[in-house]
Amino acid sequence: MSRWRGLLVEYGEWLDLRGVDQPVTLLEGNTPLILAERLSERLGATVYLKIEGANPTGSFKDRGMTMAISKAKAAGAQTVVCGSTGNTSAAAAAFAAKAGMACVVLVPEGKIALGKLAQAIMYGAEVVQIRGNFDRALSLAREITQHLPITIVNSINPDRIEGQKTGAYELVDALGHAPDILSIPVGNAGNITAYWRGFTQYHFAGRATSLPKMWGFQAAGAAPIVLGHRVDDPETVATAIRIGNPASWVPALLAIDESHGAIRAVTDDEILSAWSWLAHEEGVFCEPASAASVAGLLKFGVPAETTVVAVLTGNGLKDPDTAVKSASAPVVLDSTIDALMEHLAR
Ligand code: F0G
């Protein structure tokens, strides 16, 4: 079995790598695609989970970041910046560290999962918490590039979307065809845009005979695309997608339109219930935002006997607070066999 060499080497012929001789890679990609038996049974379809939490920094952002940082480095950049709900900042900080570049991350104060904050700090980024939400963080990140020689690595940087197309390639390569439905959480709307581009590119090249319907799901309290207007005060337990004014709004609409798909909302309760169900029943612990994709499938159902892929965008370990808060605290016993036997007999 040959060794996986990272996305820019494995999928180089499908990506715009002009100027890059030396990819900056943490051997991202090649993530598991798991057949979800119980979910398939519940939905009357064949449902797979794409485990993006298995990437080196624990989310799909590594796909875009290997590309964005490789390009930035090749162009001579020394510092990168992003606004983030947490995962982009973790990935930017890690790949910048690998590249020997500096990284500034702007995150909404108090609204980023603990593990993501820990990552950005540990990878050595300059972490700035701002009094404001993601949309403000992103606009500040854009603005700082007007004043300082810094490269932005949010998905408004086209290299990010370019790298994230590889998620679609991997699905087609693993299944041998495109799924009928691709279910995906939507925040800033870069990933749904990237998957659609990847699928259409593969289709055009004859690698896939069909195209999936793109089903995007936003959190009900942060659902600007569903509502058709900006949300000034987005709120959801799924902090990763707590976004009121997505940067890739227009291309996301195009993906939905062209694929005859849909974008719909799921409530926080629906998200949390799908999230714990996945851990209990499928053995997959993703982060709350990721579970929006499965919450949507459970809420709206799918046509019988279709093949469906739900993209689980990030690792559950990133957000231990929400996990621990969602259940009652584990029992504490005296350290005796009698106490243990008595407890387990109940
Ligand atoms: N799932 C997770 C775990 C995310 O972190 C994000 C976005 C999304 C889904 C939505 O993807 O923005 O491409 O529509 N996180 C960004 C961040 C905003 O800063 O980490 P999208």
Q: How far is the CA of 86 from the centre of ligand 1 (A)?
A: 8
The Cα 97–Cα 85 span in angstroms is 20
Q: Is 46 in the pocket of ligand 1 (CB under 6 A)?
A: no
Mean pLDDT of 147-168: 98
- Confidence grade of residue 105 (pLDDT, cut at 50, 70, 90): very high
Percent of the chain with pLDDT over 70: 100
Supply 60's token pair. Answer: 């799909």
Return the pLDDT at 178: 98
What's the CA angle centered on 70, arms 63 and 17, to 5 degrees?
A: 85
The Cα 330–Cα 344 span in angstroms is 13
Model confidence pLDDT, tens digit, residues 44-83: 999 999 999 999 999 999 999 999 999 999 999 999 999 9
The Cα 305–Cα 52 span in angstroms is 25
Q: Is 90 in the pocket of ligand 1 (CB under 6 A)?
A: no
Q: Is 59 in the pocket of ligand 1 (CB under 6 A)?
A: yes
Rounded to 10 degrees, what is the CA torsion of 47, 48, 52, 56? 160
Q: Is 187 in the pocket of ligand 1 (CB under 6 A)?
A: yes
Q: Is 290 in the pocket of ligand 1 (CB under 6 A)?
A: yes
Q: What is the pTM of this model?
A: 0.97
pLDDT at 327 over 80: yes
> Which of 313, 315, 319 is the best mutation target for the ligand 1 pocket, counting ligand atoms within 8 Å of the beta carbon and taking the most?
313
The Cα 21–Cα 37 span in angstroms is 43
What would the 3-class secondary structure string for the chain be?
Answer: CCCCCCHHHHCHHHCCCCCCCCCCCCCCCCCCEEECHHHHHHHCCEEEEEEHHHCCCCECHHHHHHHHHHHHHHCCCCEEEEECCCHHHHHHHHHHHHHCCEEEEEEECCCCCHHHHHHHHHCCCEEEEECCCHHHHHHHHHHHHHHCCCEECCCCCHHHHHHHCHHHHHHHHHHCCCCCEEEEECCCCHHHHHHHHHHHHHHHCCCCCCCCEEEEEEEHHHCHHHHCCCCCCCCCCCHHHCCCCCCCHHHHHHHHHHCCCEEEEECHHHHHHHHHHHHHHHCCCECHHHHHHHHHHHHHCCCCCCEEEEEECEEHHHCHHHHHHCCCCCCCCCCCHHHHHHHHCC
Cα separations in angstroms, 282 against 52, 190, 275, 319, 334 = 15, 27, 10, 19, 32
The Cα 307–Cα 183 span in angstroms is 11
- Confidence grade of residue 306 (pLDDT, cut at 50, 70, 90): very high
Q: What is the largest distance, in Å, between two alpha-carbon atoms of the chain?
A: 68
Q: How far is the CA of 64 from the centre of ligand 1 (A)?
A: 12
Cα separations in angstroms, 122 against 64, 128, 132 = 21, 14, 23
Return the pLDDT at 1: 74
Atom of ligand 1 minimally distant from the CA of 286: 3
Q: Is 240 in the pocket of ligand 1 (CB under 6 A)?
A: yes
Q: How far is the CA of 186 from the centre of ligand 1 (A)?
A: 7
pLDDT at 211 over 80: yes
Model confidence pLDDT, tens digit, residues 121-140: 999 999 999 999 999 999 99
Residue 34, exposed/middle/buried by CB under 10 A (0-12, 13-18, 19+)?
Answer: middle
Percent of the chain with pLDDT over 90: 98
